Amino acid sequence: MSTYKKLNKQDAYITTYVAHKQWAMSGSQFRTYGITTNDFVQGVNLNSLQQLYYPTRISGSVPSNGFNYYPQTTLYQSESRNLTTGSVIINIPRNLFGTAIKPVDGFELSFDFTSFAILEPVVGGYIADGYIETYQTYGRRAPGGNTITILTAKTILDNGEGQLYLSGSSPRKYVGDIIYPHGMLVVTDTTYASALQTALLNKPLISSIKLKFKSSQPLFTHNYHCKLRESEFNFTYNPSALSSSLKTVYDNTDTLYSTSYAVANGELNNNVTGSQFQPYMTSVGLYNDAN
């Protein structure tokens, strides 16, 4: 049998908890997880990024933009991000990062191939891409035997203020930006953007890219407080527990003829009056004003 307790408005409320899930994947799994990349940003894509995230400088320091360019920190009001042609973008879908990528904790973008060689630009430009197995390096071949830059630091971390920097660099070398609420990573340093783009476009190297981050997912808990006095809900409301063999009597026209005194006054059967009989709740339901 059911019995009801009216709840007040303050007895029902919602609490929020933000859970953080760790994600780890290689470049070869990006498509499986729905992660997209834009290699060597230029043209229309470059202009779109500049409008959304990269304000122009005024007087060499103060950023200016007619739109909200989503600053990720209040510490660098006098600085603006620096977007270059050839930047590489990694877009993480919202179903992975939730409401935002968690700053600092758990974030890492790394290149695991042995070494990456980039030949400095020369007159005449690059002539080919090539994988040099002898030296386990991957890079562009250019005429004239130009100087080769070897990337010794290949792990990119987040400083918690929307900037990506090279692990172990001192002073810190910043190579890109991260937009936490949009799940966007932008590698703007030309050298590391080239390394990332080359690995993304070559099957032998794409698995060497490792990405780790933590998502932010709010969990909503509905809380209901139902306060009872010690004297409440200690008694069964099942009519079979009431005493009297007469119960309710009807005449031959189904009209109520008499009701026993025991039933009318709630007297209990002997089997439910002992100390061993302890009624308990079998279920709890929540109802609106219309039940």
Specify the pLDDT at position 51. 80
Same domain, 182 and 288: no
Same domain, 71 and 192: yes
Widest CA span of the chain, in angstroms?
Answer: 117
Residue range 134-176, pLDDT digits in tens: 333 344 444 444 444 555 558 999 999 999 999 888 888 899 9
**How many domains, the chain?**
2
Same domain, 170 and 288: no
In this structure, the strands spanning 62-64 and 174-179 are: unpaired
Same domain, 94 and 187: yes
Which residue segment(s) compose the domain that 60 sits in? Answer: 15-113+154-222
Query: What tokens does 96 get?
Result: 């992975």
Residue range 172-218, pLDDT digits in tens: 889 999 999 999 999 998 888 888 887 888 777 788 889 999 999 99
Last residue of a domain, one of 170, 191, 222: 222
Are 166 and 175 within 8 A, CB to CB?
A: yes
Same domain, 65 and 159: yes
Same domain, 247 and 107: no
Going across the sheet that includes 115-119, the strands are 128-132, 137-141, 115-119, 148-150
Last residue of a domain, one of 197, 222, 247: 222
Residue range 10-61, pLDDT digits in tens: 999 999 999 999 999 999 999 999 999 886 667 777 778 888 888 766 555 5
Q: Which helix (H) or strand (E) holds 138?
A: strand 137-141
**177 within a domain of the structure (yes/no):** yes
Same domain, 34 and 74: yes
Classify residue 139 as exposed, middle or buried by CB count within 10 Å of its CB (0-12, 13-18, 19+): buried
More confident residue, 201 or 105: 105
Same domain, 61 and 85: yes
User: How far apart (Å, rounded) are the C-alpha atoms in residues 218 and 204?
Assistant: 38
User: How far apart (Å, rounded) are the C-alpha atoms in residues 199 and 187?
Assistant: 14
Last residue of a domain, one of 198, 222, 246: 222
**125 within a domain of the structure (yes/no):** no
Cα-based distances in Å from 229 to 4, 40, 45, 153, 277: 14, 70, 66, 67, 20
Same domain, 38 and 87: yes
Same domain, 242 and 108: no
User: How far apart (Å, rounded) are the C-alpha atoms in residues 3 and 194?
Assistant: 71
User: How far apart (Å, rounded) are the C-alpha atoms in residues 83 and 81?
Assistant: 6
Are 269 and 242 within 8 A, CB to CB?
A: yes
Query: What tokens does 246 get?
Result: 């007469």
Specify the pLDDT at position 19. 95
Positive or negative torsion for Cα 23, 28, 32, 33 = positive
Specify the pLDDT at position 276. 78
Same domain, 62 and 90: yes
